[in-house]
Amino acid sequence: MNIESYIVTKQYCTVPLIESIQKLLKIPNDKAREVYSSSLAKHIDQLKDSISILVEAPYVDKVYRNSYYHYFSSKLKDYPRDTIKLSFFEGKISDSDFRNEDKYESLKNQYRGFMVLRPTVKNIIGRNVISPKALRDNDFITCTAKFHSTANFVKFKVEGFPHSSQDTETITCAETTLWAIMEYFGTKYPDYFPVLPSKIIEVLKRISTERQIPSRGLRIDQISYALREFGFGTRLYARDDFGMDEFRRLFSCYVESGIPLLVAIHGDVIGHALLCVGHCQVTHDQIDFLVESANDGIKIAPDTVKFYDNDDIEKKFVFIDDNMPPFQKLLFKNPTGGYFDCHPDWHKCEITHFIAPLYPKIYLEAFEAKKFCKKFLFENFIIPVDHEIYLRFFLTSGRSFKNVLNFNKTFDADVRQLILETPLPKFVWVGEISNKELIKERQANGLILLDATEADTSELKPLIFANYLSVLFSIDPDEYFFSKKDISLPTFSIFTNNLS
């Protein structure tokens, strides 16, 4: 069968796409219209009105083919093995543009991603990566990786986060989140590799006491086990272990660190897994109305000091949910706020657990790292009366931090050179100290760096560097002792490279 293609605008795509779905699934037109309305329409609706869509069929999709050969092909009913591919471009395009070398640069700038439609009637949305630039509402920052694809036989790249719906048989929400997070890490970092549905099933066989397909979903500990088998040093957090407020702060801290989180939500009769990959931009009003952070046992002296925690801001987070289009923006306390016409129990769902897929050599996790940072701050600096402190705390790689610092012309040159010459581990915890007025301008006036590979928090072992209120602590890499100097740190631009 030859590959056929056509181009439609978002405004006039409904009828042609319904006809393509009808042909793919071999179903009546009225049924194809139902499938379009229930599955695809909400994905198309969130795109900008200026989007053009290139439709190609038949298309061989690696993820669906994997499920097909390991499951669907063994059924009596004849399941199609091919799919439809939609490619998205901003602005007008024509067939001739793809055969004109002079138009290639323009097409690359217009490319906004792709989506596969697979022949699984309940959920036809297959593998997709869509750039946030394609969305009508994209006032958020998120984890992204660059993915290679083709459209009309021409190579393109898109920066986004992988997404798919579940097919309810070979992959449910749990397997879909595992696939998406491995697709992201495997594409972005050489330490990891993408996995197909059959690989997820194979890994989980080792701890399963019953058959894996048709899938009945996974428990949170099974998801964590699979991630560990795929090379992560997973850390599982439960709300009941920390209390709601601290649990929410830990969640926010990891998201600020640019680490996609696997999230478990529960209602009375519903359990669901999804990903959190970013958050909406913080507004000045949110900073102005932020209340002082609750005391967690660390003595703040003097008592009149006002301490604010960036992770206390009630911002909307960005979720990748296989039941919804990608990049859903919802509050932490309402992760299913987009489920309008669903079972009432969906509206009762709350986040009960999350998994942080950490690099295996990160031994100092967020709770202990942040507690150490706050304790060091208030025990080693003389805080003036009525002083205001705003703490922004996150994890990043030592290499990325130094790279950004090297080109940060707002940072004091002498202090910058001192940090650049200081050996850093693969990952560091960063505490940026500011106040409300400075942070609204994305500036800070204090900095604490911690060794994320040091789990022993006694005797200041994780501390690498600290500079605040005209006092600088630095480590001698040869003798391993700290020197304390009277050096001030002028205001500087904060680190914002974890999310884009």
Percentage of residues of the chain with pLDDT beyond 90: 82
Average pLDDT, the chain: 94
Kind and range of the H or E run holding 440: helix 436-440
Banded model confidence at residue 424, pLDDT cuts 50, 70, 90? very high
Checking if the pLDDT of 188 tops 60, the result is yes
Residue 155 tokens, joined: 């190579």
Checking if the pLDDT of 5 tops 70, the result is yes
Closest by alpha carbon to 395, among 422, 337, 356, 351? 356
Banded model confidence at residue 21, pLDDT cuts 50, 70, 90? very high
SS3 content of the chain, % helix, strand, coil (to 5): 35, 30, 40
| pLDDT value of position 295 | 64
Banded model confidence at residue 416, pLDDT cuts 50, 70, 90? very high
| pLDDT value of position 480 | 58
Residue 344 is classified by DSSP as: G
| pLDDT value of position 341 | 77
Distance in angstroms (rounded) separating the CA atoms of residues 171 and 320: 16
Residue 135 is classified by DSSP as: B
Checking if the pLDDT of 242 tops 80, the result is yes
pLDDT tens-digit map of 199-237: 999 998 888 877 877 888 899 999 999 999 999 999 999
Checking if the pLDDT of 1 tops 80, the result is no
pLDDT tens-digit map of 441-480: 999 999 999 999 999 998 889 999 999 999 999 876 565 5
Q: Which residues of 320-343 are buried (b: 16+ CB within 10 A; e: fewer)?
A: bbbbbbbbbbbebeebbbbbeeee
Token pair 């042609």 is found at: 16
Can you give the pTM of this predicted structure? 0.95
pLDDT tens-digit map of 113-145: 999 999 998 799 999 999 999 999 999 999 999
Length of the chain: 500
Checking if the pLDDT of 429 tops 70, the result is yes
| pLDDT value of position 481 | 64
| pLDDT value of position 478 | 60
Q: Specify whether the CB–CB gap between 129 and 141 falls below 8 A.
A: no
How much is the average pLDDT of 355-370?
A: 97
How much is the average pLDDT of 68-77?
A: 87
Q: Which residues of 167-197 are buried (b: 16+ CB within 10 A; e: fewer)?
A: bebbbbbbbbbbbbbbbbbbbeeeebebbbb
Distance in angstroms (rounded) separating the CA atoms of residues 321 and 180: 10
| pLDDT value of position 77 | 85
Checking if the pLDDT of 436 tops 80, the result is yes
| pLDDT value of position 23 | 92
